[in-house]
Amino acid sequence: MKHSIEVSGINIYAFHGCLEEEARIGGNYIVDVYLETDFTQAGLKDELSLTVDYVNVNKIVASEMAIRSNLIEHVGQRIWDKMTAELIGLNYLRIKIRKLMPPINGNVDEVAICIEGKP
């Protein structure tokens, strides 16, 4: 049996980007986290300590997104590192960061990075 948890659509206002204006003005981001773990015991015993706490997932995303970076690739790596260090029982992890309305001299809804694999 395969178990997965998704925390999707984490909306964050942050100040990432290479342009000086992005550091001052900021922009909207959406982060999606997908993870695979074994929550068999949590399902049987109804105990939060036996699975990954969604609150912790959201806290990690929020704390790392609050640290300014030039690249969302760098933010994604920090989120990956923190999740793999702090969340117990991860078998697979995927983090997607979407930057909405990026200032790239074109009509683009979003750009995104995705980091995924076995921790």
7 touches 60 (CB < 8 A): no
Which neighbouring-strand residues pair with 114?
96
pLDDT tens column, 51-83: 999 999 999 999 999 999 999 999 999 999 999
pLDDT > 90? residue 6: yes
* 22 has pLDDT over 90: no
CA distance 9 to 12: 9
Look at residue 46 in the predicted model and tell me its pLDDT: 98
pLDDT at 103: 83
* Domains delineated in the chain: 4-117 (3.30.1130.10)
Percent of the chain with pLDDT over 90: 87
Question: What pTM did the predictor assign?
Answer: 0.95
Helix (H, G, I), strand (E, B) or coil at 7: strand
**Which residue, 86, 85, 92, 80, is CA-closest to 2?**
92
